[in-house]
Amino acid sequence: MRIAVYPGSFDPITNGHLDIIERASKVFDKVVVGVLRNKSKKPKFTAEERVGLIERVTAHLDNVETDSFDGLLVNFAKTHHASVIIKGLRTVNDFEYEFQMALLNKALDSECETMFMMTNSKYSYISSSMVNELAGYKGDLSELVPNEIIPDIKKKYE
Ligand code: PNS
């Protein structure tokens, strides 16, 4: 069974993330979305909230599950018997950092392969920080995130 992990902060999940998850779920037998719990920057949504939002918008995908993690990504991948890390690339700016991370993860675990998926061009401008910025200005989020989680995001910014 080919299992992949798709890691990130997902603070919150965006249409760009969901597009990668849907496409990866067609390529792999199982995709485990990994929500990083602790990051130096304080997340807007708790890890439980972020997992909950992802579970709701991926409910239609039978071979996708979501879990949160602390610590090294390669350890999270091992726990889930995943041999592949999926990363999405939006712009050339993402590349240098992701390239470095891929090499580092390979050095930490030589069995672990990182595979990159190009974002759907219609989502290339979307990031969680843009979602949060727009939500702070009470802007229209309908192009950026799945409709069913818009009320949850708005509630954070009331
Ligand atoms: O959505 P993000 O914030 O760009 O995702 C970053 C993430 C979670 C993929 C990255 O921070 C990560 O892998 N963190 C886990 C710690 C780790 O394994 N770091 C690499 C070796 S130091």
CB-based contacts of 135, cutoff 8 Å, min separation 6: 141, 153, 154, 156, 157
Measured distance CA(89)–CA(98) in Å, rounded: 8
pLDDT tens, position by position, 66-91: 999 999 999 999 999 999 999 999 98
Predicted local distance difference test score (pLDDT) of residue 122 = 95
Q: What is the pLDDT of residues 28-54, one digit of tens each?
A: 999 999 999 977 678 999 999 999 999
The closest alpha carbon to 15, from 93, 131, 105, belongs to 131
Q: What is the pLDDT confidence band of residue 126, given thresholds at 50, 70 and 90?
A: very high
CB of 36 closer than 6 angstroms to any ligand 1 atom: yes
The catalytic residue among 78, 90, 106, 124 is 90
Q: CB neighbours of 38 closer than 8 A, spacing ≥ 6?
A: 70
- Distance between CA 105 and CA 111 in Å, rounded? 10
Residue 60 binned pLDDT confidence (cut-offs 50, 70, 90): very high
Helices (H) and strands (E) in the chain, counts: 6, 5
Half-sphere exposure of 93 (CA within 13 A, CB side): 5
Domain boundaries, the chain: 3-125
CATH second-level architecture of 3-125? 3-Layer(aba) Sandwich (3.40)
**Mutate-to-test residue for ligand 1 from 40, 50, 73, highest number of ligand atoms within 8 A of CB:** 73
Please provide the average confidence, as pLDDT, over all residues in the chain: 96
